[in-house]
Amino acid sequence: MTVSISQSEIRTLLDTISKSGDPFSKRDKTLFALYAFTGIRKSEALLLRISDYDRDSKLLHLPYVKRSSKKFQVIPSILTIILDDYLKNTLIIDLSSPLFTGNSCNRFLTSRQVSYRFDKWKTISGIRRNLTIHSFRAAYASLLYQKTKNPLLVSYALGHSSFNTTKDYILDDSFDFRSTIEKIFAI
């Protein structure tokens, strides 16, 4: 099972990136914030184009999704602010350009490059080394479930075609069926 990144680790990571002065800090902060605040898959984020961001509706259009009919992801206001700041400081050739560029402004950032950058930022920020990009997705699912207690909402938000996949994200050691039954049917 994937280890979830904590909310404090997300804050530490994003703050470290913001204060770094690294030439790719805005891109990296935006990408990792996107993972944290949307729960989308690594590949879904890396294939986004600038035109896939709808600021007014606070939506991301997901042109490539894994086994799902879900094509849009709602984004919170904090992510809109981060995305706007990033785009304000990014060379935009046209709206069909990659949202996250790699070695040139018309090339998508690669999965390997993201993993390398995440490893770098984990080391600098001092967060747990066993975290992966997928840790953001696991944390998003867990937090959404903790706040709503609605497993179907979590399943939809993650774009799962099967609820069985969602169960892996929301059921953990804290799920105590016996005590729940006792509370419900207490004499």
Residue 56's CATH number: 1.10.443.10
What pTM does this model have?
0.86
Residues of the chain below pLDDT 50? 173
What is residue 86's predicted lDDT score, i.e. its pLDDT? 96
CA dist 114 and 177 (Å) reads 39
- Please report which helix (H) or strand (E) contains residue 53, including its range: strand 53-54
Q: Is residue 42 part of a domain?
A: yes
Tell me whether residue 125 is exposed, middle or buried, using C-beta atoms within 10 angstroms of its C-beta: 0 to 12, 13 to 18, 19 or more.
Answer: middle
What is residue 161's predicted lDDT score, i.e. its pLDDT? 67
What is residue 153's predicted lDDT score, i.e. its pLDDT? 82
What is residue 173's predicted lDDT score, i.e. its pLDDT? 45
Q: Is residue 169 part of a domain?
A: no
Who's near 40: CB < 8 A, 6+ residues apart? 34, 60, 62, 73, 137, 159
Mean pLDDT (the chain, rounded): 88
Q: Is residue 186 part of a domain?
A: no
What is residue 169's predicted lDDT score, i.e. its pLDDT? 66
Token pair in block for residue 86 = 């990033």
Q: Is residue 31 part of a domain?
A: yes
Q: Yes or no: say if 28 and 121 are a contact pair by the CB < 8 Å rule.
A: yes
- Strand, coil or helix: 2: coil
What is residue 68's predicted lDDT score, i.e. its pLDDT? 60
Q: How far, in Å, are 15, 124, 152 from residue 128 at the CA level?
A: 16, 11, 30
In which domain, by residue range, is 132 found?
7-137
What is residue 172's predicted lDDT score, i.e. its pLDDT? 59
Number of domains in the chain: 1
Q: Is residue 18 part of a domain?
A: yes
Q: What are phi and psi of 28, to 5 degrees?
A: -65, -45
